[in-house]
Structure 1
């Protein structure tokens, strides 16, 4: 049995003692620490502690990978030894806020908004994958789908698509809830604001282009001002900006309006003002910006698909280190909302698999039991879409596994982009990701998977055996 108190004491010593801790919390697998000075951490000593499977610094937090089921026990012993109280994740984030530059704060804000809604989006993506298997022709039968051959399954598939599409149909409601919560307002008002933007009374955003061609876009006439009566299904920017404005108005009113009438004034005024401004200014402007970003990305990958895949496939692992990968979650969602598919997400999935394969190679090449265990657990985690343990616990530690992994990912990205591979949803960013791929692109995606499974493992293993450093 592991002595959790001893492990906590060793960790405390390695990170510079209790005087170096401003606040501490933990998540499912990691200690999340706000340190006074990360420069005094004894990394070699920290690496040698049995409970520690890796560590890294991100967004001003120093995170120590312990593992599920153990981290909470080590955390309790750590805060007892340090003489500090338990902190929430928000308190630790607040303690590290001053260490981030404006770009880092912006990326963190996006991450804090989109990560809470990710389970709903990933679940929807997996369900869409099941629907793909049932409805796509040519998977099990030549030029026919499962429901073509077995019509009794058609209603089953239809029910799945209704359940799966809900998260994407009402995406602004999810974003509104999370964004207003992040900005400091009432989450319920954020949900309402998001749902306002997809009200069935409005022209569906997916029908907007055709309506423009036909000249049938409906309008409101506000005292001579003509406003397009359109919804913002699948759009990210309109609801983000509207949520920020809504929160600012709500917070302002709560400070000015007497408590006794806040229920009658704050919500109605905040929603009414934000709603009018969104339909008149915010919506049209951000809709144009969002579509411009989408059109620009699509044009780049239409004309330079292989080069785009090579670059994005190669740099995604680097983006994870900096935390900037969270910004591309919003881009993927915008692409899916505007075009129905995304060509970026498949490369994300392959990048994660490549990092896991490199970690597995270190496990196979190593003679150290702790490193073998870390390589196995972090490799599995990466293949299931969570790469931080493999990145910071194994691959960056030895450097060459990381370089080999991102090189392999770049090669696979080049191939699948040149093949036109697309996903119709965001799913599990690893091996199960194939279920989110449009069925007609399964074969090239599987070839891409073979590249990032075989190449990083073989090359990393051979190099590790030659170098003899594991």
Structure 2
């Protein structure tokens, strides 16, 4: 399919012209711009262009939703028309950082660390879902699991479970690789650091509370506990920052001829000692305090906690702050064996899709009807940006309807203590990553986000005139 060059020119004009583009790249569905001045964007003109499915600003980037496949062709035409050099996502991120305040920078840093490892975590969640189906009691047979009725499948399920658990068993290794890379160090050293924190010679963190005696090292009279940090997030994050800064410091001061012999060994030794003596114990305690605080809130007032988090998740996506909760999810999974936050995320995705689907019946413009349907399907499969930014936020009552439905569903599943052993794909397939014993409650939550946003959007939409 050829691209209408006039429409591409119109996109360039609507975002303020080529002089307003500091850097540009694209992902699977969206153009990503680091703009000199976002105030120069004419959003009304931009969203009137047929190629454009929506637009929004987040983390200092202005993003234009185009669609899978087409976005690559549009991007190449923009590069040709503007003369802007093709940039990587990292180039655009760096160019857009000047538009961020300190809080946004901190949130962006967490996003830059966790987003690259998300495919491994989501894959683990899907595989755990398959394992749940095979090993969960009462799904196919009363009081028995599938592998109990058919023992020949037991080893098959065991291998799936091993593959699924790998990402969580060695989670510090994944985080170490991504975090050290983000902080400017060598990713390979980050992997070694992360794996060092879960070395089999250390007492497993999951057995720490039940251990009768914790082994220690004696360092010149100082007793240091030989404890691993399986499933922990904060220790490896801070240790990665320290490692990267030490490595950068040494590389600037050690001659090239001696760097291979000195930089990595000194960096790992210093970071390792500091991690086991100070960083690990301190951040382990902080992580447990955070976990206890979050769990405590939902134990004392589960309905209120679910109502707030279920309702606020979609607005958090707009600001980019939702990335910070990925670390909390992983901390909960590592410390308690499951997270009650992620199930609400899956329901929030469905709620946004349902509101967009309702808009398809309300709108008269064929382009917007088509956008509403396709974005609803996308949201039902876990990708909400087209529905949120292309449809629901454009008609605020649709977004509010989705938020209300998500809040009510969040309150219900929190009251029922619905948990997921991992993070999976959001939307309708999300039930696969929920503990099987919580499926009935989760399906009721799904019913809420399929009915409430649709009904509310239809009622509020009927009260308005000239929606298109």
TM range (shorter): over 0.9
TM-fit CA distance, 1:38: 1.2
Cα shift at 1:228:
0.3
1:396 to 372, 393, 410: 393
Contact 1:7 1:74 survives alignment (8 Å): no
1:244 to 236, 241, 244: 241
2:117 is equivalent to residue 117 of structure 1: yes
- Residue pair 2:3, 2:74 contacting (<8 A) in 1 also: no
Instruction: Please say if 1:300 is aligned against 2:297.
Output: yes
CA displacement at 1:461 relative to structure 2: 2.3
Partner of 1:346: 343
User: In structure 2, which of residues 255, 266, 275 is the aligned counterpart of residue 269 of structure 1?
Assistant: 266
Matched position secondary structure for 1:397: coil
Structure 1 unaligned residues grouped into runs of 5+: none
Counterparts of 1:52 and 1:367, CA distance in 2: 18
Quote the Cα distance in structure 1 between the aligned partners of 2:248 and 2:83: 36
Secondary structure in 2 matching 1:209: coil
* Equivalence map 1:34-433=2 (5 Å): 34-211=34-211, 214=212, 216-433=213-430
1:4–1:77 contact (8 Å) kept in structure 2: no
Counterparts of 1:300 and 1:158, CA distance in 2: 35
The farther-off stretch of 106-115 and 26-35 is 26-35
Single out whichever of 452-461 and 132-141 deviates more from structure 2. 452-461
Q: State the SS of the aligned residue for 1:55.
A: strand
- Equivalent residues of 2:382, 2:426 under 8 A apart: yes
Q: Following the alignment from structure 1 to structure 2, what is the Cα–Cα distance between the partners of residues 278 and 24? A: 39
Q: Could you tell me the TM-score, scaled by structure 2's length?
A: 0.98
Which whole-Å CA distance do the structure 2 matches of 1:36 and 1:346 have between them?
38
Indicate the larger mover: 358-367 or 233-242: 358-367
- Displacement of 1:345: 0.6
Q: Which moved more, 1:375-384 or 1:307-316?
A: 375-384
* Aligned-pair CA distance for 1:134: 0.8
What TM-score results when the alignment is normalised by the length of structure 1? 0.98
- Measure the CA separation in 1 of the matches of 2:4 and 2:167: 42
User: Does structure 2 conserve the Cα–Cα contact (< 8 Å) formed by 1:114 and 1:175?
Assistant: yes
Secondary structure of the 1:144 match is coil
**Is 1:401–1:460's contact at 8 Å kept on the other side of the alignment?**
yes
CA RMSD of aligned residues (A): 1.0
Check conservation: 2:3, 2:73, Cα contact below 8 A.
Answer: no
- What is the SS of the residue equivalent to 2:33? strand
- 1:31 aligned partner: 31
Q: Is the 8 A contact 1:4 1:73 kept in 2?
A: no
- Specify the SS of the correspondent of 1:210: coil
SS for the counterpart of 2:230 is coil
